[in-house]
Amino acid sequence: MTLRIHGLRRRFGAVVALDGVTLEVKPGEIVGLLGPNGAGKSTLMRAAAGLQPPDLGQVHVEDVDLWREPIAAKRRLGFASEHPSFYEELSADQYLAFLAAVRGLEPKAAAARAGELVERLGLKGRTDEPVRGFSNGMRKKLSFMAAILHRPSVLLCDEALEGFDAPAALYARETLRALASGGTAVLFSSHVTEAVERLCDRVIVLHRGRVVHTLARAEWGLEAPGLSALERAFLELIRSPAAEVPA
Amino acid sequence: MPVHTPDFSAAFAGLERALVRRRIAAVEPVLRLEIAALAAFLAAALFWRMRLRLGSIAFAHGPWAATGEAAAALGACALLGGALAGARHVMTLAPGAAGPPWLALPIPAAQVHRHLARASRLLALLAALPALSVLAAALGIVPWLAFGALAAGFCVLLDLAARLGCRAAFGIARSRAEPLAGCDAWTRVLAAAARPLSSGRLAAARWRREGALPAFLRKDLLVTRRPGPARGRLAQPLVFGALSVLVWFVPIAPGAVTTVAIGLVLLAAAGLASWIVALAASDPFPVVKALPVGVGVVWGARVAWAALGAVALAAGQAVGAGFAPPPAADAPVAGAALAAFAVAVLGANYAITLFPRADHAERILGIALAIALAASLMFYFVGWAVLLVALLHSARRLPRWPLQEEA
């Protein structure tokens, strides 16, 4: 369950978005992708997800070449987008059921997993409404659910958790950890360095379309993933009985 | 800051000029040439038909009979313009319609409505194109005095029809708007237009084991059932499909019935193709491209709809001709099925090969069908040849679907 990207190159006119990017995410590893705006993070993610063909280079998902055998590779791949888009007319449930059918998932198991994700990410009671009416945070949550519904071998998160409320963000991070424990290779792009710091085992720094540095967890000092003091206080507050709002 | 009384009329006039300039600038130069060439082609085809018709009428019954025929054709053009303006105005005033939050601005609602109606009436000018062909065809055949009256009469009639169309659209919108105490009709209509489409609750999702193709077909149905572009586009094939059956019960010459029926079937097929384009446009690019499906599934689902639509239209012809009172002509079942399928598959091809640019797909489809129509007006089989060439040309790009990018 490895993601291997080799020599990825992509130009948009005179702008070189990716300039020979090579990286690998091993099974069970969560690798952060950091970089300033315009560094090429989203282009890299989209090329790795099969949305944007590179000019040069290869993407391998578990030794399957994404651009030569796209269907086989995409069966193993999950992608949570920075700007999620959906069938706006469908409900969240209908959308997830469609994805489950197209991916050939066992219906009962897929429905149960979707139900669990919906509950834990705080969308319960809203999944029979058209996605059109969803807030930005709800759309991000649905995109994240769609990306992990099939427990992918390789997961690409492009600023996917930005916009989540604190409990959902915590659950999403726990889920990513659990997926990684099960062998999923996760490439996690974000502008929020705290999230990357707490979640990732390794960080790749992208600048002007090139990998300029790789940092191991030991290099930034935090020994294990955790919560910030504010997050801890907030979670304690909203989980306390006093925070329950009567119906 | 000093405040003066605003001149709304001047402000809106400036806005409308800027909008027209901007819309013209938004059309690429190549497309402008394409549209101009297409318009010239269609105008020439219509001119040719009308010239022959008016000439033969004048020869047989005199110039005043030809004048009557030209007046009827110009009246039809004006009605078309009115219908276009009205349809556009219905969309402008529909709930969830795009546009600025008018009610948040300190502008009288009636003033806003006058601006919106003027914008809708601009569309009626499209009817001037066939009208010019008719007038050109009448030149030298109808008396000079009558020619001037025809031209002036058409201008008056077009303006009247466009105003009536917009007024009817406003009436529809007003009947749908909620009653608001102390608000005039203009405000109520604008409030209704600004209201987002209701979300409501949808039917429970069905989790079932099925292939990717049936999943796409079922999803297409769900998308079409909800308010949106896909549902809006389904009206045309349904209305023209129904008319193509009902025309068999109209007491006109059997040969004429067949011609009108096939014409209506073709209009329904064009609507079917447009619906297929809207369905493909509803596919979110990052979702579809990240799914483990190839072009075969996405294209196959749309071709399945094309086949189903073609079969339904052909069956309608068989039923219409079967139950029509005698003497009924032979139903063009095979021709209807083949033509409808070809037109709808053309829509599917453009929708897939130009994905996710539905606007481009719609435009190219329109151009291809218009060229085929104009060619058919001249020589029947040339239209078929144009359609076949367009089908083959568009199909050649299907294998490139995995490499297509979001614009």
Contact status of A115 with chain B (Cβ, < 8 Å):
no
**What's the pLDDT tens digit per position in A91-125?**
999 999 999 999 999 999 999 999 999 998 989 88
Each residue's pLDDT tens digit, A156-165: 999 999 889 8
Segment A146-193, tens digit of pLDDT: 999 999 999 999 999 988 988 899 899 999 999 999 999 999 998 888
Beta bridge partners of residue A56, listed in sequence order: A9
The Cα of B284 is separated from the nearest Cα of chain A by a number of Å equal to: 6
The reply to whether A9 touches chain B by the CB within 8 Å rule is no
pLDDT of residue A242: 56
**Tens-digit pLDDT profile for residues A220-242:** 765 555 666 666 665 666 666 65
**In this complex, is the C-beta atom of B407 within 8 Å of any C-beta atom belonging to chain A?**
no
Q: Who has greater pLDDT, B395 or B15?
A: B395
Give me the pLDDT at residue B98, please: 67
Nearest to B331 by CA among B249, B388, B267, B270: B249
Q: What pLDDT shows up at residue B185?
A: 85
Radius of gyration of chain A measured on its C-alpha atoms: 18
Which tokens sit at B407?
Answer: 């614009």
State the pLDDT at residue A5: 95
The ipTM estimated for the assembled molecules is: 0.80
- The per-residue pLDDT for B407 is 64
Our CA-based measurement puts residue A231 at a distance from the nearest CA of chain B, in whole angstroms, of: 32
- Is B170's pLDDT higher than 80? yes
CA distance B309 to B117: 36
Most confident range (mean pLDDT) of B94-103, B179-188, B322-331 is: B179-188
Mutation for testing the A interface, residue in B217, B219, B225, B401 having most A CBs under 10 Å: B219
Whole-number pLDDT of residue A237: 61
In this predicted model, what pLDDT tens digit does every residue of B192-247 receive, in sequence order? Answer: 877 766 667 888 888 888 889 999 999 999 999 988 888 888 988 999 999 999 98
Q: Provide the pLDDT for residue B111.
A: 87
- Whether the model clears a pTM of 0.90, i.e. scores above it, the answer is no
3-state secondary structure of B119: helix
Share of chain B above pLDDT 70, in %: 96
B330 vs A: CB within 8 A: no
For position A30, what pLDDT does the model report?
A: 95
Average pLDDT, chain A: 87
Structure tokens, B212: 């990717």
Which whole number is the average pLDDT over B354-368? 86
Contact A56, B272 (CB under 8 A): no
Phi and psi, residue A64, nearest 5°: -100, 125
Residue B210 contacts A where some CB pair is shorter than 8 Å: yes
Q: What is the mean pLDDT of residues B327-342?
A: 83
Q: What is the three-state SS of A68-125?
A: CCHHHHHHCEEEECCCCCCCCCCEHHHHHHHHHHHCCCCHHHHHHHHHHHHHHCCCCC
Residue B150 has pLDDT above 90, yes or no: yes
Task: Find the mean pLDDT for residues B35-62.
Answer: 88
Residues of A in contact with B293 (CB under 8 A): 71, 102
- Angle, CA of B265, B268 and B272, to the nearest 5°: 135
Instruction: Say yes or no to pLDDT of A246 above 70.
Output: no
- Convert the pLDDT of each residue in B271-282 to its tens digit: 999 999 999 999
Give the integer Cα–Cα distance in Å for B166 and B174. Answer: 12
Q: What is the pLDDT of residue A226?
A: 61
A100 to chain B: which residues are within 8 Å by CB?
Answer: 207
- Residue B298: per-residue pLDDT: 94
Percentage of chain A beyond pLDDT 90 is 54
The 10 Å Cβ neighbour count of residue B21 is 10
**B362–chain A Cβ distance below 8 A for any pair:** no
Amino acid B42 reads L
Which of the two residues, B95 and B48, has the higher pLDDT score?
B48
Q: How confident is the model at residue B2 (pLDDT cuts 50, 70, 90)?
A: low
Per-residue pLDDT at B357 exceeds 60: yes
Contact (CB<8Å) A87/B292: no
Residue A109 confidence (pLDDT): 94
d(CA A239, CA A233): 10
Q: How far apart are CA B343 and CA B341, in angstroms?
A: 6
Is the pLDDT confidence value at B344 over 90? Answer: yes
CA distances to A18, A23, A217, B17, B141 from A5, rounded to whole Å, are 12, 5, 21, 52, 74
Which structure tokens are listed for B59? 């020869």
Closest A-chain CA to B208: A107
DSSP A246: P
* Range of weakest confidence among A28-37, A62-71, A228-237: A228-237
Per the DSSP assignment, residues forming a β-bridge with A10 are A18
Kindly determine whether residue B205 and residue A102, on different chains, have CB atoms separated by under 8 Å: no
pLDDT confidence band for A247 (50 / 70 / 90): very low
Partner-chain contact B212 A101, CB within 8 Å: yes
Q: What is the mean pLDDT of residues B102-120?
A: 86
Interface membership of B300 toward A (CB under 8 Å): no
For position A225, what pLDDT does the model report? 56
Size of interface A-B (CB pairs under 8 A): 130
Put simply, whether A11 touches B (Cβ < 8 Å) is no
Averaged over A126-137, what is the pLDDT?
Answer: 89
Distance CA B54, CA B342 (A): 34
Which chain A residues contact residue B218 at CB under 8 A? 98, 101
Residues with Cβ within 8 Å of B213's Cβ and at least 6 positions away in sequence, in order, are B297, B300, B301, B304
| Distance between CA atoms of residues B58 and B140, nearest Å | 11
Query: Closest Cα of chain B to A73: distance in Å?
Result: 8
Asked if residue B222 lies in contact with residue A89, where contact means CB atoms within 8 angstroms, the answer is: yes
**Using the beta-carbon criterion (under 8 Å), do A86 and B287 form an inter-chain contact?**
yes
User: Strands A64-65, A56-61: parallel, antiparallel or unpaired by DSSP?
Assistant: antiparallel
Q: pLDDT category, A245, cuts 50, 70, 90?
A: very low
Return mean pLDDT, chain B: 87
pLDDT of A12 higher than 50:
yes
Which of chain B's residues have a Cβ under 8 Å away from the Cβ of A126? none
**CA gap A176, B239 in Å, rounded:** 51
Higher pLDDT, B199 or A77: A77
